[in-house]
């Protein structure tokens, strides 16, 4: 008999529901909230209200597309954290109500672990080779930049992380000062394709170990704009593509330098990338290059699994189900939680 799990993700500004049958994904519905674009960033109160409006239609559609009746579900998995508390509360409360009404177990999922476990999602009719343990995962999103040593589905160790801003945050903040729309990462990626990555140089941080820092880069980008704008008010407009290409080049160099060091020190050649920034085309190209140059076996997620989605919560829930690792209905969400 198959194990059918409904999964809910509501940690930030995407309301998502997915259904998985064993490790095979049957549906993954994502409703991204557009309302935040006007504010240049996610507004927490608006996010929770939008989750409340979206959650029932999204779950309904996920079950419909999967062709699964709610009576056939074996468990409900939900993102418990980290994320925005108001947003998490919507998904958590919904999952709790659903599990209580159907009298099926509830499974809490760590959002960061879920991004990594997305590499184990299978789809019927598609061949897919998941990473072999132990592997390294570069987890890069709007809130995190971490190198994680993944020893098993449930045993993960953060060996390096940002001491200030995340890589996605650096993209978003630099885009904002150039007057680009939110989220800035995908816009920078697009404009960088037409620019020269060596047009401007920025200092790279000197941080010990495998840790990252992006706040210095953000400041040096800001100072470069400020100095040039004094001489030429049209500086940003005239150099937008080169600015984006140079910034993106530096962010990727910083990310890959530490990842390469970790892979070398730990003698690991199985390397994955996850999180919103893993959608970046130049980062994906850097992974391909490293695979050729250093003999890495690389794992790059499908675009649908780069940003927040419930499919990754579903596969994480499935592994916990196999371990009989269920949670109590009284468990609260957490805005901050480690891998
Ligand atoms: O994982 P995610 O969807 O959300 C959280 O951080 O929770 O990541 C969003 C981040 C944003 O900073 C966004 O600008 C960045 O991922 N991002 C990208 C690209 N697509 C999304 N950054 C660079 N290039 C992209 N193509």
Is the pLDDT higher at 1 or at 224?
224
Task: Give the number of the atom of ligand 1 that is nearest the alpha carbon of residue 169.
Answer: 12
Give distance in angstroms: CA of 140 to centre of ligand 1.
8
Find the 306 Cα to ligand 1 centroid distance in Å. 8
Return d(Cα 322, Cα 151) in angstroms, integer: 17
Residue 271 near residue 287 (C-beta atoms within 8 A) = yes
Query: How much is the pLDDT for 338?
Result: 79
- Provide mean pLDDT across the span 189-216: 96
Give the pLDDT score at 337: 81
141, 169, 303, best to mutate for ligand 1 pocket (most atoms within 8 Å of CB)? 141
**Is pLDDT above 90 for 38?**
no
Region 64-90 average pLDDT: 97
Query: The tokens of 325 are what?
Result: 């690792």
pLDDT number for residue 237: 97
Q: What is the pLDDT of residues 303-320, one digit of tens each?
A: 999 989 999 999 999 999
pLDDT at 258 over 90: yes
The pLDDT of residue 53 is 97
What is the spatial order of strands in the sheet that 4-9 belongs to? 24-32, 14-21, 4-9, 75-81, 106-110
pLDDT confidence of residue 10:
98
pLDDT at 41: 82
Task: Judge contact between 149 and 50, C-beta under 8 A.
Answer: no
What's the confidence (pLDDT) of residue 149? 98
Which residues in 187-315 belong to E strands, given as ranges? 270-274, 297-299
b or e along 236-268 (b: 16 or more beta carbons within 10 Å of the residue's beta carbon)? Answer: beebbbbbbbbbbbbbbebbbebbbebbeeeeb
Alpha carbons 26 and 122: distance in angstroms, whole number = 9
pLDDT tens profile 44-61: 999 999 999 999 999 999
Nearest-10 crossing angle of helices 44-66, 85-102: 30
Q: How far is the CA of 105 from the centre of ligand 1 (A)?
A: 32
Is the shortest distance between the CB of 301 and ligand 1 below 6 Å?
no
Using one digit for the tens of pLDDT, what is the confidence trace for 100-151? 999 999 999 999 999 999 999 999 988 889 999 999 999 999 889 999 999 9
CA–CA distances in Å: residue 213 to residues 65, 100, 149, 162, 194: 42, 44, 19, 5, 27
Position 34 scores a pLDDT of: 86
Closest atom, ligand 1, to C-alpha of 248: 23
Average pLDDT estimate for 18-34: 96
Does the C-beta of 184 come closer than 6 Å to ligand 1?
Answer: yes
């Amino acid at each position: 008999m198959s194990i059918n799990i409904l999964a809910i993700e509501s940690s930030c500004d995407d309301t998502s529901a997915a259904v998985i049958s064993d490790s095979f994904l049957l549906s993954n519905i994502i409703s991204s909230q557009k309302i935040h674009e006007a504010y240049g960033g996610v507004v927490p109160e608006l996010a929770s209200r939008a989750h409340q409006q979206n959650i029932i239609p999204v779950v309904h559609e996920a079950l419909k597309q999967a062709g699964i009746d709610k009576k056939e579900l074996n468990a409900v998995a939900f993102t418990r954290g980290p994320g925005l508390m108001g947003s998490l509360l919507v998904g958590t409360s919904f999952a709790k109500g659903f599990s209580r009404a159907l009298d099926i177990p509830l499974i809490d999922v760590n959002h960061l672990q879920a991004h990594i476990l997305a590499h184990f999602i299978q789809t019927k009719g598609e061949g897919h080779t998941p990473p072999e343990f132990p592997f390294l995962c570069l987890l890069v999103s709007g809130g995190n930049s971490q190198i994680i040593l993944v020893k098993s589905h449930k045993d993960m160790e953060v060996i390096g992380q940002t001491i200030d801003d995340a890589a996605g945050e650096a993209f978003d903040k630099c885009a904002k000062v150039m007057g680009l729309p939110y989220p800035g990462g995908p816009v920078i990626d697009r404009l960088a394709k037409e620019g020269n990555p060596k047009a401007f140089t920025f200092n790279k941080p000197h941080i010990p170990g495998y840790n990252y820092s992006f706040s210095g880069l953000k400041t040096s980008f800001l100072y470069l704009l400020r100095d040039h704008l004094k001489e030429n008010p049209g500086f940003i407009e005239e150099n937008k593509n080169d600015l984006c290409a140079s910034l993106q080049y530096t962010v990727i160099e910083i990310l890959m330098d530490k990842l390469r060091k970790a892979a070398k020190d730990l003698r690991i050649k199985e390397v994955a990338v996850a999180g919103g920034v893993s959608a970046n085309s130049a980062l994906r190209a850097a992974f391909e290059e490293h695979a050729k140059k250093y003999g890495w076996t690389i794992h790059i997620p499908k675009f649908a699994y780069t940003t927040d989605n419930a499919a990754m919560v579903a596969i994480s829930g499935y592994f916990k189900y196999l371990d009989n690792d269920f949670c109590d209905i009284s468990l609260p969400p957490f805005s901050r939680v480690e891998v």
